[in-house]
Structure formats: C-alpha cells, structure tokens
Structure 1
C-alpha cells in the first residue's frame, strides 16, 4: 500500500473517537437514567418516588459549587410534589417517603435543599412553589429542623411547574460556613452554620443525591448536571490521536450559552461546544463557557499527537497445517509490541489470508498473514461385496488405491456387519483415516408357487429349478405321484441363499363313493327338499342335480313333483368316482280344464302310477264322493253320472305307500276350470 494512502486510511479507521465525562451515579426507585448526566426522577404518575445518588465525596472544609437544572413538569393546579438536593453521610442509595415527603422524609442525618411544588398546610407550606433548607429528613416547616426559608422559588411568580428547565446553583463558602441557593440566576436563600460538625459530626466525606416524589397529584421531575467543582471526572478528558488524526470533544453543559476555544489551531469551530480537534502536535486546549446566569468557567484538555509507524507489524510465520488440524489463536501483539485484532475468524479447512488491524492509538498500518491449509488426502479402496454369515472374507489391503499404507481395525469378522477404520502410517503428509463397511447379509429365502394336489398316479410335472427370486438349485427326493411327499430345495453354491426350503405335494387316494337321497320334506309338500348323503370318501364333496352346476351344498329345495331327478356326487379334489342316484318326489296338479282341447282334460296323480295299491277318492265341497280312480288310469274327467261338474274347488283323498313302504293318507283340494 502507498504510504500516503495508508496514512489517510489510518486517520479514518483508527483515530476518531468521542470524549464524554460522567459522574458516578446510581439510580433507585422509579428514577430513570436518560444519559449525559440527565435523569427522570419520577414520571407523571401517582405515588412515584425516585432518586439518583453519587459516590463522589464532599469535604465541607472546602469551597464547592454544584450547577444543575431542574424541570418540575407542566402541571400547576394538580401538580405535585417536587424535588430535593440531599447531603448525607454515606453513598448508599436510599429513598424517603413519597408525596409530601418529597422522597427525602426520614433520611437522617442529612442536609436538604427542598424545592416544593405543593402546599401541605400541615407542614406550614406557603401558597406558592418554594425553597427551604431542612435538617434530618423532616419536611415540616413548623419545626426546628427547618433551617432556612421557605421562600418562593421565583419572587414574582409562585409557579415553577411550567415545563421549563430552571437553573440551580448551590454554593458553599467554607470560610464563612455559608450555603447559598440560586434559582434562575438569582440568590433566593442562604444559611450559615458549621454543618460539618452540627449535622455530620465532623465527617470529611459527605455524599449527595437528588430525590423527588408524586402523590395523588403528579408531575414529571427531571434533573441535569452542568458541572460540579469537586468532581474531576465531570471535566473533559485528555485525548490521544495519531499524526494527521482528529478527535471530536463535547464540552456542552445544559446551561451553556457561549463557548470559546484557545488556541484555535486545529479547532474545526472555536465557538462550538463540540468541535473536532486535529492538532499537528501535542496541544493543550482551553474552553471558556458562559452560562445563562453570566457565570464563566474554563475546562482544559490535552490532545497528545503520536507519530505514525510506517513499518508493518511483524509476526512469526505459521507453519502449514493439514485440513481439520487444530489452529492456535493468532497473537494479539506483534513481535514489535503493536497490539490489535485479527480478521476473519480462524479457518482450519482452507488456506486463508488474515488481516491484523492495530488498535487506533497504535498508529500503525495493517499487515497480513497467510496460513496454508493442505487438503486432506483420503485413502481409497475398492468396495467389498456383501457376504453371507460365515462365508470366507479375505484380509483388507494395507495399501490404498492411491498408494497410502496403513493398518485396519478391528479384526476381520465374517459373522456380523462391521465398519473397519484404516489409519495411515506416519510420515505420509496429510493422509487421513477412512472407513470401509462390509455387509454380512441375511441369506435370501427361495420361494416357489404351491403345487396343487394330484390324484394317485396322475402325471406330476418337474419342479422348477429357479425360485421366484432367481435362486437356482435342485430338489430331492425324486418325484413320486403315488404318495404325499415333502421335497427339499438345495441352492447352488455362491448365492447366499437359505437351504432350509421345502415344498409338499399332496397325493390324494381315489375314493369309491356311494350316495342315498333323504327327502326331508313331507310328500305333497309345497317345498320339496332332498338331502344327499355320501359315504366312502374324505368328506370334501360337490354335488350336481340333473347335469346342472356342481356345488358344495348337499341340499336341493323347491323340487318339482312327479319329475325324474338324478343326483350325482364326487370328491372336490376330483380323486373319486362319480356316484349317481335317480328319484322323484310326490306332487299333484293344482287344477285341470276338461274342455276337450286335449290339454289337462283329466285330473290324476301320475307320481303314483307305479303304485298299483294306491287309491284316490274325489269329493265335492259338501263331502259327496264324485269319483274313485286308480293312479294308473286316465283319471277323473270332471263328470258325475255323465253330467259335467261346474267350475269349482274339489277335494281328494289319496291312500299310498311312502318310500319306506308304509301306508299313508293325504288329503287336499284342486280346482276345476271350464
């Protein structure tokens, strides 16, 4: 970098800062720190009490002055209660009673300057906003603890709750033991007494703070410092800049009106409270401040100018590291004792250039340092195919495909899946460890489609030598179509397949079946039912009625009477004869039409024509027998003594033998239609 450019960058980055001064303050209660030595003592809310206390000691044997501003809010008729400056014998933050106690009531021993904005008649308060000097935390003006006042804060105006910051100056003259209170630049109250002895028992260290409160009536209460004569750190601090650098300082006080800086060389604005100072050499500046009361004060600060260092900070080089190795933090101080910071953050995964930026007041240039990160070399190996449990597994190679030597752990194991770690031998650069997993797989289980049972002696096809998964092998024993047999499949070698696979082929003997029919319903029933009973087989049958569909139910219902039926039965396996039986069921015609058209011209029960002994009697509705016929005859023609009987219902009585040969009688009716 060119020297002129470096010097300009150094000024911009390193040598601009802000000077501030603060009292040693601690807020308590409802108080809020606003910054810049300003505080909200209470907010505009009911029954608040707050304070700010300082651990800066005061010796009443020495003169001192305290300059500050108070804002008592903007409520007048319903505003309350005010603030107080309190001196006490220790720096511990404390609060007294709220409301009329103004936050100082009960603090003892103490010396209080009270600014009261509410009239408490019980305390002897005057009608206007007033000032008084009180002792030992008692706000009652009727008692001896009232040391001076009360007097109106403004002689011509009883109201100081006007939202304006009012200037307050407290002076102590140690030679005369006189305490003077100035309000808005005017002396309003004095009190003379050796308070160091009479109140603080000769204590050389007295501390001060501000308190305030509200009650049922409220106001905001604020305090801001101008300056304190006995507090060094309220003054401007000395500054250090680099050659060609600058610093902005702020001498602003709340009551300041005019500011004048001398000397003026290197001062951006001699009349500004916060100019930028850029001296060419070390310089002591004085600022003279005039406030609203015409008081003047001076502050001094020295700006020290340090020469620029033109040579870059020196650091020892860092040896290259392997990717992922530990990278120690870079030193914050160079070999030539220049302190600063490094950026970016350390990175042990890639080569990086790091920049060292000296601290602002080191007045030195930046420098860089490169740390080389050597990429890791990972050993590579050919993958090992999965093996079956117990299968031979060769030792892993001790030289990788990219010529890195090393050792493997743990020992080879051919019974369980294992991850093996390869550790390179030393002295091979940035070779890193790697892993290799060898899978020990569970054997594949061959599956085959089941073989349907066969009948004894039926042709049996050869079993497949390739499973559904593509596993090849052979079967034992030889096929046998005479007896049920369990066949075992033996996979061919090298297939990591289970050899515990079997297939059973059932060989069913030929059954000789016989059947009989059980007509479970009564003869001439409306629902004729036949139940088929089979013997001589396994019990797994199917049945057929009159060459219809085969079915597994052995019951047939709603059979038509006087028809011939054939029932057949067989084994569902097909391994049997087909047994058959013929039968008919008894029924009768429900009507006939003797009109000479040769269709239904006579009525008879043809189902009984083979029973020569069967007899049928026919009656009219009154029980008169009209005819007596034999089932083997043509039947009744619908006449009585040669006369045509009319359309009507007629009754009959039939005497017959059931299938067991037992005599039976059945009666019912039919209809004659003309």
Structure 2
C-alpha cells in the first residue's frame, strides 16, 4: 500500500481585550441605562449603526427582552426595538430580532443564530434611508424596507423599552452587554466584521458614541458610579437606572466568553495551534487517517468528529473526502474546522456535454478518451453495481432525462464516478391538413397546435398562424428540443365563375324569351324555382340565377320589361286654333316610330296652314304597327284682356279697385303689381280677386304702379302669354 503523509499546521490567534475587560450585567428585573443624551446627535439622521456584544442568560426573566430601544417622548409606540426574539416573530426563539412597529403591526427581522448558548455574540443594526438590516456575529440575518424619523426629544434606553401605558418600563433584558458603539453612517458587513473584535481608540471617523464599560471593579462595590462614560469624547454619557452596582450581578462584571472565531477571551494571550498529520487513502482501500494534536496544552482540549461519531484526536480507516472536526477547550470555547483526505486513485475524466436526441432516434455509442494506461468503465447506476459492456448506446425509446455513469481505472485504482446526461426529447407532430381546392377569392387559414421551439414555413415566415390565398404547394417544419417534423399541403383554387344573363331586355305582350348563363356548366338555381340551365319567361320582372360549380357559386340578374302596345299612344280627334301654329305630338319613347301622312316621321307633326280636316299617321313598334286617322276641326282662339289704367281707392262707390277682365276662359292666370322701386306689393292667381290699392292694409300713395299679367287661354294648342303695363292711383 502506498502512503502519502502531509503535515498541516493551523494557527488561530485570539483578539486581546484591554486591561480593564469589563461588561455590564443586567438582572432582567429593573436594570437599564438611560441614553437620552444620544438623541440630539441622531436627530434627522438618514443612516446610522448600533452595535455591541452580548452574553445573554439562557433563561430570560421576560419574553422579548430589550437590548436597545428608541421611543418618542409622547405615547408608548416604539420607533425601534432591538431585542431578543420571541413568539410571533417568525424565527427561532433563541436569537435576536429588530422590530419597527407601525400602529399595532410589528415589522420584524429575526435572526437565525442561537444567542442563548451562554457564549458571547456580536449584534449590529444598520439604518440606511429606510433599509433596516440585522447582523449577528458579523453575518447578515435579514433586512426590511421601512422608514422612520428621529427627533431630539426621543428617549433612548439600553436594557428595556417604554411600553403601555405611557412611560411604563417593560421587557427587561437579562445578561451582559459590552462595547456599545453608535455611528453616524450605515456600516457594511465587511466594516462590521473588521472592527468588532477590536477595542476602539474613540476618535474613529463617524463614531457618535462609544461605551466600553471598562469602569469600576468587576464584581466590586461600584455604587459611587452613576454615569456610563462615553469614550468617544462627545460627552454623551448614560445614566444607570435600577442597578445595584455591587456584587456579581447588576454590576460591572468580568468578560469570560469566546469571540466570533471560537477563541477563548481572557486577560492573557493563549495561542491556539493545531498539528495535523493526514494519511491519504490509497486506491479506494479506506486506509486514510488523521492525527490532530495541540502541542501547548494538550490535556485541555476535547475532540469530536460528527460524521465519524468519534471523539479521539486520531481517526483512521478513512475514505477520500472532507471531515469536520470540533475542538473544545476547558472553558467551553470551540473551534470548528474541516480536514481533507485525498486519494491516490485514478484521475477523473472530464464529463462530456449532455447528449440530446429525439425519441426513437439512433443514438451514437458513448465514448470517452482515457488517460495513458487507463480504462473507462460504464455503469447504469452511480453505485457502480451494474457495469455495462463496451461503449453503451443510449436507449431513445422513452423521452426524459437519463444518466450513464463512468469511472476511469488506472493500475487497479478507480477515479470518482461521474455521469453523462442523456436528454431524450419527445417526438412531435405537425399537421396542416389535407390537399384541397378552394373557390376563387377564398383563403385557407392554418393555425399550428403544439409547443414548438421554432417554426419555418415555405416562405420563411415563422408565425403560428398562416393563410393561403393562391394555388401552390406549401410546407412547414417545426422543432422542439432535438425533434423536428414537417408537413406539406397542395392548395388549388377554382377559376372565377363568370355568370352573365346579358343586358336587360324587353318582350312583346304575349311573347316569350329564353334566359341562360353564357357558357357555364354546373348546377343552377333560378329565382323562379327552376333548376334547368335554360328557362323561358313571358312576363316582365327581374330574374336571377345562381350557378354552382364544384361548390363555388356566383349569380346574375336580368330585368325583362314589357314593350307597351302602340294603342296606348294613339291620338284623339282635336279642335285647333285658326290663328295659331298647331302641332300634333305622340309621346316620345324608345319603343315607337311614327310616320305622318306617309311623308314625315318623328314624334311631332306641324299641321299645315291649309287647315286639313284629317291626318293619317302610322305608329309602329317591334311588336306591332297601327295606321290611324285623326279628325281635326278649327275655331277662333284669340283671347282679349281688359285692364284699366287708373282707379281711385277713396272708399266711394265708384272705381275703388283694380281688376283684370278676360273674354275667354283661362287655364292659367297670374297678376303681379310692383311699386316704383320694384317691390312686389300684390300678387294673385285668381282673376276674380280685386286689388283695393293697399299694401299691408295701408292705402298706397297715388302714382304709377307697374303690373305683369301671365295667362294661358283654355283652348287646345294655346300658349302662355305675358303682358306688361302700369296703373295710376289717383285721388
């Protein structure tokens, strides 16, 4: 067996306290220190630190024994309480907590380190712009964000808090306190750790108050002392309340405890060194050993190996690994350290990167390159109970994460077991549907269903939703882990269905017309209910057809109108005027053509001045033609109007009004009268209505007034006539 010996020496140097190494003991009944002198120095401070050492009595007289508290001058509500932890704090009952109450709500940060172990512990609180942080033994315990303000009238106390009712002393702390320091800035964890085991000079930057408690005689009669000295030189002394200051409690006492590093603290310097001899394990034969000795005072120490359940300075039959050792001196102070036992076994082979496959893929054999003279062994388990032959090929039949284990053998020595991670991604599928044909103008929406890591369509787009609106072949490829899947779809579109019944048309009364979509082959649905490709109609109306070709449809409509009979426009016999130009007219229409006396054509005909007694004319359409004769008679059509040129609207019985008189019947009449400025002052369309010479009920001034008469005699072929003149109103 090959043995390798190491000589390791650990040296732990303790911190040395000052010549007067006192602390202050609190009896937990009525002892506390009034520190109100600190209030002005911390007024309106946005950051500060309070730190000190404690050795708490494991049996506290009250729950939540207060170490340090700030209370407002009025009321009992605390601003800050630095105390022992208790029920409801959310942490262990043997630690320290800070509480910033708001109303009836406690806002607590609770430590996790046991301080009721009859040992000394350093506690610190920092406030930095609303961030409240707790440290125990230089270790961060927690923080909360809650702001408060400090004023010069606040009450500061060490060892109790003011409680309800107002001003009541309560929650006294039992144990000792030493080395109280108050700073005007928030110390970092490194700054706390760096100075907590050293006494201060008192002139350090940012130090507001410093109480080292090195006053009087430890355990002696100190009743003549009534003030706690501020060693910072800032004259912020405290005052003892309730202390007996005589005897071994409620007085200055000697500090006897271990510091943060586990060293015994006393007034003398004791070196604490270890000699450690380690025999490393050989080839996994469990033959390592550790021998620890304390050369200076070997009989004052005990040894404990928690993982080995041994309590001797020498342990053997060890495998390679790290071993925890706790050494305790005769004062109960302990140091906790670890010692490493290595192995002369084969060196480790670096583990390869995880192998990733898709389910049911063909995996490659696992291969590692051993060191010179080495052999790689593969196992299915980390305990090396089931060795695999050769280079194993990972199974990909099931998805999940699996491990293959390996170790290197060199000269019958094995390295530590390591593993290769095999990740099998579950298979995936993608389906974008069957090949299809759509109608012109439609689109095919596709939405992928699945949790894919990447998507790629045939046009390089990568969205979950896709739309197809033109004919072609489309594909998509998706991936998830090491798996991928693809699908293809062919989409065609029917050509546009052009349905046309032609332009609107007309038919003769009693005739029919055939309607059919031009050049379309498919199924038909007519508005008449018929389904044949051709229908015959003989009535006017709007006809519609819908054509279905392969499930795609289109439609058209046609308006079929009836050509009117020419009988509806034939003329009746007429009486014409002898002294007028007489015109015969037939309704102007696209349906008809007219010929007059076989000589002229058109919808109108001017009767010759020879006054013929009859006119022969022909009216024809595409449906029929009729020759008709109209009988004509003539009469004198002249119509005379009698219009006076003056009247006297003076109220007597003669010539009081203006009236137009006609010798014939009129089909239309209008009289309008204007004053000299052209204003309309009278209007009537009744020839029998008289103007009384007034306007708005007032007799008009005498003088000339213009009139306009528009009329049309009630005679065939008469035209509208306009006449103008004036009438004179006289007195």
Q: Which has the higher strand share?
A: 2
TM-score w.r.t. the length of structure 1 is 0.32
TM-score by length of 2: 0.30
